[in-house]
Amino acid sequence: MYEGVGLDVLAKGLGHYPASDQPGEVGNVAIAGHRAGHGNPLIDIDAIRDGDRLIIETREGWFVYRVQRHKIVPPADWAVVAPVPERPGAKPTERWFTLTSCEPRYGSLNRYIVFSLLEASFTRAQGLPAEYLADPAAGV
């Protein structure tokens, strides 16, 4: 993941919104990526469902977020990446992860947004438990 969400940054991969929090912190870690082009890191963002787990791995460990909801917004709707998503100015008390990409898949008319809340975190020393490594598509 790279710092920033400019086109030059997103051409390299996923980008962290500079004003957003870091994984695991109270507030909102917001990450953007392309759906089409530049490696298509979020091509299937629309396949993410409520209840799915999203895991962010950092040098410190793993942060497991549970998807709460998704929505489609205009590109200028910056409220989705506020410390409390969709509530600019509100004081955060929870740990959010917001994923943003273009909508539709091969266009940029809108933004596809996925909101998740922190469920668990694990240090490198603890390791990521096996239950988080299972592949649901494989029926494991």
Domain that holds residue 12: 2-138
Q: Which pLDDT does position 16 carry in this prediction?
A: 93
State what percent of residues in the chain have pLDDT above 90. 71
Which CATH number do you get for residue 13? Answer: 2.40.260.10
Check pLDDT > 80 for residue 137. no
Residue 99, beta-bridge partner list: 31, 114
Average pLDDT, the chain: 91
Domain count, the chain: 1
C-beta of residue 129 within 8 angstroms of C-beta of residue 119: no
Q: What is the DSSP letter of 79?
A: G
Q: Is the previous residue joined to 129 through a cis bond, with omega within 30 degrees of 0?
A: no
pTM: 0.90
Q: Could you read off the pLDDT of 57-108 as tens digits, one per residue?
A: 999 999 999 999 999 999 999 999 999 999 999 999 999 999 999 998 888 8
